[in-house]
Amino acid sequence: MKATITLDPISIDPIASFSSPTIESSILRLDKLHPIVSGNKWFKLRYYIEEAISQSCKTIASFGGPYSNHLVALAYAAKENNIKSIGYVRATKEDRITASLQEALGYGMQLEFIGRTHFQEIKNDLLKTNQHSSIDNSSTYFINEGGYGTIGAKGAATILNERCRDYTTIIAAVGTGTMLAGLINAAAANQKIIGIPILKNENSIEAEIKSLLTNSDKPFTLLHTYQQGGYAKTNPALFAFMNQLWTSEKIPTDIVYTGKLLFAVENLLKENYFQEGTKLLVIHSGGLQGNRSLPLGTLLY
Domain check: are 201 and 228 in the same one? yes
User: Of 116, 147, 178, which residue is a domain's last?
Assistant: 147
* Sign of the dihedral defined by the CA atoms of residues 126, 129, 133, 134, in that order: negative
Average pLDDT along the chain, 301 residues, taken 10 residues at a time: 88 97 98 95 97 93 97 98 97 96 98 96 90 57 96 98 96 97 97 95 91 96 89 88 98 96 98 98 96 95 95
Strands 133-135 and 138-142, how do they pair? Answer: antiparallel
Q: In the prediction, which pLDDT does 205 show?
A: 96
Quote the pTM value.
0.94
User: Angle at CA 241, nearest 5°, toward 236 and 244?
Assistant: 125
CB neighbours of 14 closer than 8 A, spacing ≥ 6?
24, 25, 26
- Range 45-83 burial, b when 16+ CB lie within 10 A, else e: bbbbbbbbbeeebebbbbbbbbbbbbbbbbbbbbbbbeb
Domain ranges, residue 94: 41-147
Domain check: are 199 and 51 in the same one? no
Q: In the prediction, which pLDDT does 123 show?
A: 96
Q: Which amino acid type is present at position 59?
A: T
User: What CATH code is carried by the domain that includes residue 25?
Assistant: 3.40.50.1100
Q: Which amino acid type is present at position 186?
A: A
State whether residue 238 is helix, strand or coil: helix
- Strand residues in 180-298 grouped as ranges (E): 192-197, 221-222, 279-284
- Whether 217 is covered by a domain: the verdict is yes
Domain check: are 182 and 206 in the same one? yes
Q: Are residues 263 and 271 in contact, defined by beta-carbon separation less than 8 angstroms?
A: no
Q: What is the total count of domains within the chain? A: 2
